[in-house]
Structure 1
Protein backbone atom coordinates (compact mmCIF):
# COMPACT_ATOMS: atom_id res chain seq x y z
CA UNK A 1 0.00 0.00 0.00
CA UNK A 2 2.93 2.37 0.51
CA UNK A 3 3.82 2.12 -3.18
CA UNK A 4 0.84 4.24 -4.25
CA UNK A 5 1.75 7.37 -2.20
CA UNK A 6 5.40 7.06 -3.31
CA UNK A 7 4.30 6.79 -6.93
CA UNK A 8 2.04 9.81 -6.50
CA UNK A 9 4.90 11.86 -5.03
CA UNK A 10 7.19 10.92 -7.93
CA UNK A 11 4.48 11.71 -10.48
CA UNK A 12 3.90 15.15 -8.94
CA UNK A 13 7.64 15.83 -8.81
CA UNK A 14 8.07 14.91 -12.48
CA UNK A 15 5.04 17.04 -13.42
CA UNK A 16 6.44 20.08 -11.59
CA UNK A 17 9.86 19.68 -13.22
CA UNK A 18 8.37 19.31 -16.70
CA UNK A 19 6.13 22.34 -16.17
CA UNK A 20 9.10 24.40 -14.99
CA UNK A 21 11.12 23.52 -18.06
CA UNK A 22 8.21 24.29 -20.37
CA UNK A 23 7.66 27.71 -18.75
CA UNK A 24 11.36 28.51 -19.02
CA UNK A 25 11.34 27.50 -22.69
CA UNK A 26 8.27 29.64 -23.33
CA UNK A 27 9.88 32.71 -21.73
CA UNK A 28 13.11 32.11 -23.67
CA UNK A 29 11.27 31.86 -26.98
CA UNK A 30 9.23 35.00 -26.25
CA UNK A 31 12.35 37.06 -25.50
CA UNK A 32 14.15 35.63 -28.53
CA UNK A 33 11.23 36.62 -30.76
CA UNK A 34 11.21 40.15 -29.29
CA UNK A 35 14.95 40.45 -29.85
CA UNK A 36 14.63 39.33 -33.47
CA UNK A 37 11.92 41.93 -34.12
CA UNK A 38 14.05 44.65 -32.56
CA UNK A 39 11.57 45.39 -29.78
CA UNK A 40 12.91 46.34 -26.39
CA UNK A 41 12.22 43.92 -23.55
CA UNK A 42 9.70 45.01 -20.95
CA UNK A 43 12.38 45.59 -18.27
CA UNK A 44 14.26 48.20 -20.32
CA UNK A 45 11.31 50.57 -20.78
CA UNK A 46 10.91 53.16 -18.00
CA UNK A 47 7.94 52.74 -15.69
CA UNK A 48 5.09 55.15 -16.49
CA UNK A 49 4.96 56.44 -12.89
CA UNK A 50 8.37 58.13 -13.16
CA UNK A 51 7.55 60.44 -16.06
CA UNK A 52 4.80 62.57 -14.38
CA UNK A 53 6.89 62.85 -11.21
CA UNK A 54 9.87 64.13 -13.20
CA UNK A 55 7.67 66.67 -15.02
CA UNK A 56 6.29 67.97 -11.71
CA UNK A 57 9.80 68.31 -10.26
CA UNK A 58 10.99 70.19 -13.36
CA UNK A 59 8.01 72.56 -13.16
CA UNK A 60 8.74 73.24 -9.47
CA UNK A 61 12.37 74.07 -10.28
CA UNK A 62 11.30 76.54 -12.98
CA UNK A 63 9.02 78.50 -10.63
Structure 2
Protein backbone atom coordinates (compact mmCIF):
# COMPACT_ATOMS: atom_id res chain seq x y z
CA UNK A 1 0.00 0.00 0.00
CA UNK A 2 1.27 3.40 -0.73
CA UNK A 3 1.45 6.06 1.94
CA UNK A 4 -1.68 7.94 0.78
CA UNK A 5 -4.05 4.98 0.55
CA UNK A 6 -4.42 4.36 4.30
CA UNK A 7 -5.59 7.92 5.14
CA UNK A 8 -7.80 7.91 2.05
CA UNK A 9 -9.50 4.68 3.15
CA UNK A 10 -9.98 6.08 6.67
CA UNK A 11 -11.47 9.31 5.32
CA UNK A 12 -13.83 7.36 3.07
CA UNK A 13 -15.04 5.24 6.00
CA UNK A 14 -15.62 8.30 8.19
CA UNK A 15 -17.52 9.99 5.36
CA UNK A 16 -19.80 6.97 4.97
CA UNK A 17 -20.54 6.91 8.71
CA UNK A 18 -21.44 10.60 8.73
CA UNK A 19 -23.77 10.23 5.75
CA UNK A 20 -25.56 7.30 7.39
CA UNK A 21 -25.85 9.10 10.74
CA UNK A 22 -27.78 11.96 9.15
CA UNK A 23 -30.36 9.73 7.47
CA UNK A 24 -33.83 10.16 8.93
CA UNK A 25 -35.57 7.01 10.09
CA UNK A 26 -39.25 6.71 9.29
CA UNK A 27 -41.40 5.00 11.88
CA UNK A 28 -44.43 3.00 10.94
CA UNK A 29 -47.43 3.51 13.19
CA UNK A 30 -49.48 0.38 12.70
CA UNK A 31 -51.91 -1.07 15.20
CA UNK A 32 -51.57 -4.66 16.32
CA UNK A 33 -54.04 -6.67 14.17
CA UNK A 34 -55.03 -8.80 17.17
CA UNK A 35 -55.98 -5.76 19.24
CA UNK A 36 -57.93 -4.27 16.32
CA UNK A 37 -59.86 -7.53 15.92
CA UNK A 38 -60.52 -7.63 19.65
CA UNK A 39 -62.13 -4.19 19.50
CA UNK A 40 -64.09 -5.12 16.38
CA UNK A 41 -65.76 -8.04 18.16
CA UNK A 42 -66.65 -5.87 21.16
CA UNK A 43 -63.80 -6.88 23.43
CA UNK A 44 -61.20 -4.87 25.27
CA UNK A 45 -57.50 -5.48 24.68
CA UNK A 46 -55.60 -5.68 27.98
CA UNK A 47 -51.81 -5.46 28.32
CA UNK A 48 -50.17 -6.92 31.44
CA UNK A 49 -46.61 -7.48 32.66
CA UNK A 50 -45.29 -10.69 34.16
CA UNK A 51 -42.81 -10.88 37.06
CA UNK A 52 -39.86 -10.63 34.66
CA UNK A 53 -41.21 -7.40 33.15
CA UNK A 54 -42.30 -8.94 29.84
CA UNK A 55 -45.51 -7.53 28.39
CA UNK A 56 -48.33 -9.70 27.06
CA UNK A 57 -51.82 -8.88 25.89
CA UNK A 58 -55.16 -10.60 25.66
CA UNK A 59 -58.72 -9.85 24.61
CA UNK A 60 -61.28 -9.61 27.38
For the aligned pair, the TM-score class normalised by the smaller chain equals 0.3 to 0.5
- Normalization by structure 1: what TM-score? 0.40
Structure 1 or 2: larger helix share?
1
Structure with higher strand content = 2
Q: Which has the higher contact order (CA 8 A, sep 6+)?
A: 2
